[in-house]
Amino acid sequence: MDIVGLLTDPDNLLTGFVAVVCFATILTIVNPMMNRSSLEARLKSVSTQREELRRKSREALAKKHGGQLRHADEGLYKKVVERLQLSRLLEDPQVVDKLAQAGYRGPRPVSTFYFFRFVLPFVFAGVTAMYLFLINDFGLPPMTRVALSVGGLTLGYYAPNVYIQNVAQKRRESIVGAFPDALDLLLICVESGMSIEAAIQKVSQEIGGSSIELAEELTLLTAELSYLPERRQAYEGLARRTNHPGIKSVTTAMIQAERYGTPLGAALRVMAKENREMRLAAAEKKAAQLPAKLTVPMIVFFLPVLFVVILGPAIIKVQDMMSTNPVG
């Protein structure tokens, strides 16, 4: 009876109701604080993981470049370029991008390029003039020899650009040849739940057997994604260094996926298909050009041998018959 009276007492019921309301109020106030601490812990974990990736990238790059990430140029070429102000005299606003496309990065290749662009014209002109005026003039008049020397001067001026363009072209072909396979690997890594930095780093390790140049570019992209303030700058840097329409379209899709939050896997799948089709079209184009390219070698090398093989026995037989039965 005492317990029933205690439970049915209006004062006790009011006290219990107030206690429940107070507990619910305290729980409502404390619950966001608890969730905030969980969010902060998750953000801290993500930040720690990002710092770990940065540290590993820096260690890998430092090991690759001899312990220094920042290249200093204190050699002879730099002194000559600064003393003669060749960067102003031979100014080329795209020299850094051209050298990067050829695989030369840092201040030292720029100084080397300007140095040889200044020296080679005089070397070519001097060698041409020395040969034509002192060794063998080929019976040419003096003005013709002077014109050829000037031609050597012009050839020496454009020789560094031609060399850089050839190296960049070979490097681009190596990168483009392995890029569709790299996109397939990147798609698999992203859809498996890996972050974009870890996925690109993994692909750079796996694609090295097919293209060392592409593995180098992807490693550099991983480092730039960790260091640069915006991912867009890293993707644009990759497109600028490769200078290929297919890679530019992929980087544009990745920038849009990063900006608007669209699924990256779907964009990578479409880009991988387009790059495979582009590679197949390039192969078909080379195959279509092959008959025209083989025409001259066939005329020069194959047809004379074919005539000798076909007509040789007949000529030998005729000569034997004429020696056996001389006319007369």
Confidence class for position 69, pLDDT limits 50, 70, 90? very low
Check whether 171 has a pLDDT greater than 60: yes
* pLDDT of res. 60: 66
Residue 71, pLDDT above cutoff 60: no
Torsion over CA of 234, 240, 243 and 244, rounded to 10 degrees?
A: 30
46 — pLDDT class (breaks 50, 70, 90): low
Token look-up 């019976």 returns 139
Whole-number pLDDT of residue 219: 87
Contact assessment for residue 212 and residue 175, using Cβ atoms and an 8 Å cutoff: no
Question: Is the predicted pLDDT of residue 70 greater than 60, yes or no?
Answer: no
Q: 131 with 151: CB under 8 angstroms?
A: no
* C-alpha torsion angle, residues 305, 310, 313, 318 (rounded to 10): -120
Is 131 exposed, middle or buried, given 0-12, 13-18 or 19+ CB atoms closer than 10 A?
middle
Q: Is the pTM of this model over 0.85?
A: no
**Count helices and strands in the chain by DSSP H and E runs:** 13, 0
Average pLDDT for the chain: 79
